[in-house]
A and B are shown apart, each in its own frame.
Chain A
């Protein structure tokens, strides 16, 4: 008991001494390139805002998500600004865990109307903006023009899956470590399931029917998974089942992939000659379809938000306004060049002639983002929103567990049918446990 008293005393003494000094914002973010750039530009912010100090907690995505979720759900109050996905933002907003960014949405200089509409609407609950987008992305095809020329192929702007599969098999030359197509295989709701869920939309599949009944026992999913596993076996790199975004990026940058279908933000990495061996040989196309009216392009954004109950809302809002403003884009452009500004959040960026010139992928990115339709993601009707995810809190766990099954199918450890059967069973179980269908 005494020990605890002493500890409490010591801690509260520390806490009190903290209040007197300058305000310190603790900002949690992901260790992605654009965020690290933001972290390096911190001085520009503190120069303009004396009296505010910034402390960074930069973590790998999964760890960040766990820590931030634990903290916001228990109201631990460890962070003043949190980086969260477009998946979490509306769910948390509804729970009342986030402070609405009313000031920003009204601020004329900030110009919230400039935010890309699909993303803005994804971050809004009941007319209130709960998070400000830092960068946004959809998915698209990135391909090697040189390899396509060599094989006598021509990539259409809006390819079909049949064309992609055919081209991938033609390009593959395992002897020289050239693989026709690199796709995500690493298990995770934000890894292989983001890709596969989006792709399944193009094949006419859906996660749940209108009564929240899982649909993995339906032929559309079988077709999707069969197609994917066969394609990867014929034309994919070895070890595909442990490749996520980063692994594939490294493969593509080192010239080992003919095509890669993934996030549009990758475009600036693969065309950056400092990082990529194939920088001048990359072309872009929309994510493929199968003629059913839906393309497999997803919608994602990383956003900055303030946890509800924060005592530093004002300073936190200042920071968010700075980091997601037009001026921030200009600042990055000035320091690092237009190709490196965080993409996919503002209409004005895509109207900027300099950006269009510097970023050959600008138009395709904007088209992809605008083509994504989270409100109506699938061919058949569904009770949920979200293209590459299902916007319910349970999805992280279910998506990851299903992802494990599909990853095992890709690795050849189980058959496609077994993987689908397990996925169906475990999803039914989890949904029952979570009490669906909800009245």
Chain B
């Protein structure tokens, strides 16, 4: 039922939207371009946009100083690991909250969310001491556990809003057929919930990938992800814009690409509960 629109209006909207889109994206584009410049070109005034001597020197320099792939792999393990573990714990909880709500369900949910509002640094020393005693410092397992716990409230809440929209009658029907609780979850609920779960998964991978407090403070080298990789380029001596840009590009590229490919999915799940 598309309405007829004059081409003029369409062109006007296109120009406006592209301008805004370009402005939003510009800092990332600029970082990307700068990563191929020499340090001198990076601070040239007036700035050079495209016509400079493109060089891979910064990437070589960054790679020769820090092992990108080890950091990258740690980021992957930590963000995927914590998200999967989180889902494993959260799916049953969200299911229970959505289908057998009690008076206190809302309170429990809000309480969970409020744990996320605590400034992490206040608990750093206690956690550091626990990690030291548990031998968990600089271990991926330790980080996976911490990030799982940090993002668990968001996971539970997202899944809850999603599950709530699944009509109860379907479950009733399944129960009539004599399905057990486990079967109910596995065969009836899960397939219906896949889009919501997928979107929760994506959002949490993004959040875990970008988490920079615990990952920085609880690791040294073996488990250090890309957030610590960036910390060694943040303000060295001398000119550093180009090297910083190269390191930044390397740190954000994987997650931006993943995000782009999955953005439709991401939004669909996020807004399922929010949009009727």
> Are chains A and B touching in the complex at the 8 Å CB cutoff?
yes
CB of A75 within 8 A of CB of B239, answer: no
Is A76 part of the contact surface with B, judged by Cβ < 8 Å? yes
- Which segment of A27-35, A224-232, A387-395 sits at the interface? A27-35
The 8 A CB mask of B115-126 against A (1 = contact, 0 = none) is 000000000110
Asked whether, in the complex, the Cβ of A7 is within 8 Å of the Cβ of B237, the reply is: no
Interface residue A56 (Cβ < 8 Å from any Cβ of B): yes
In whole angstroms, how far apart are the Cα atoms of A61 and B233 in the complex?
A: 11
Residue A345 at the B interface, CB < 8 A?
A: no
Q: A7-B136, A10-B141 are in contact. Are A26 and B238 (CB under 8 A)?
A: no
- Taking a contact as CB atoms closer than 8 A, the residue among B134, B136, B222, B237 that contacts A32 in the complex is B237
Inter-chain CA distance A40–B228, complex, in Å, is 19
Which of B220-239 touch A at CB < 8 Å? 220-222, 224, 228, 231-239
A36 to B128, CA, bound (A): 28
- Residue A246 CB within 8 A of the other chain: yes
Inter-chain contacts of B233 with A (CB < 8 A) = 31, 60
CA distance A61 to B134 in the complex (A): 28
Alpha-carbon gap, A75 to B228, bound state (A): 21
Interface membership of A59, Cβ < 8 A: yes
Whether B65 is near chain A, meaning CB under 8 Å from some CB there, is: yes
Q: Which residue of B lies closest to A276 (CB)?
A: B238
Interface pair B238/A11, CB less than 8 Å apart: no
Q: Which of B125, B221, B228, B234 counts the most chain A CB atoms within 10 A?
A: B221
Q: Is B265 an interface residue (CB 8 A)?
A: no
- Picked from A57, A66, A79, A253, the residue with its CB within 8 Å of the CB of B238 is A253
B43 at the interface (CB under 8 A from A): yes
B64 and A33 contact, CB distance less than 8 A: no
Asked whether A254 is an interface residue with its Cβ less than 8 Å from the other chain, the reply is yes
Count of A residues near B, CB < 8 Å?
Answer: 43
Of the candidates A12, A39, A78, the one whose C-beta lies within 8 Å of that of B220 is: A78
Q: Are B65 and A63 in contact (CB under 8 A)?
A: no
Chain A residues near B132 (CB-CB < 8 A): 74-77
Does B145 have its Cβ within 8 Å of any Cβ on chain A?
yes
CB of A23 to closest CB in B, whole Å: 15
- Asked if B221 contacts A26 (CB within 8 A), the reply is yes
Assess the B135–A8 pair: CB atoms within 8 A.
Answer: yes
**B207 is an interface residue with CB less than 8 A from chain A:** no
Q: Tell me which residues across on chain B come within 8 A of A20, comparing CB atoms.
A: none
Name the A residues within 8 Å of B240 (CB-CB): 246
Q: How far is the CA of A246 from the CA of B145 in the complex (A)?
A: 37
Also in contact, A11 and B65, with CB within 8 A (given A33-B237, A70-B128, A76-B128) = no
Q: Give the distance to chain A from B268, nearest Cβ to Cβ, in Å.
A: 33
| Smallest CB separation, B275 vs chain A (Å) | 37
Interface flag for A67 (CB, 8 Å): yes
Residue B63 interfacial (CB < 8 Å): no
Instruction: Let me know if A335 is at the binding interface, CB within 8 A.
Output: no
- Is there contact, CB below 8 Å, between A78 and B237? no
Q: A22 — which chain B residues lie within 8 A by C-beta?
A: none
Additional A-B contact list (13), CB under 8 Å, known A11-B134, A70-B124: A7-B142, A11-B135, A26-B220, A58-B232, A59-B232, A63-B231, A63-B234, A67-B216, A75-B132, A78-B220, A246-B236, A253-B239, A254-B43
Q: List 29 A-B contacts (CB under 8 A).
A: A7-B134, A7-B136, A8-B135, A11-B134, A11-B136, A14-B139, A26-B221, A31-B233, A32-B236, A33-B236, A33-B237, A36-B236, A39-B65, A40-B65, A58-B232, A59-B228, A60-B235, A70-B124, A74-B132, A78-B137, A78-B138, A245-B237, A246-B235, A250-B238, A253-B239, A269-B237, A269-B238, A275-B238, A275-B239
Chain B positions within 8 Å of A, measured between CB atoms, are 39, 43, 64-66, 124-125, 128-129, 132, 134-139, 141-142, 145, 216-217, 220-222, 224, 228, 231-240
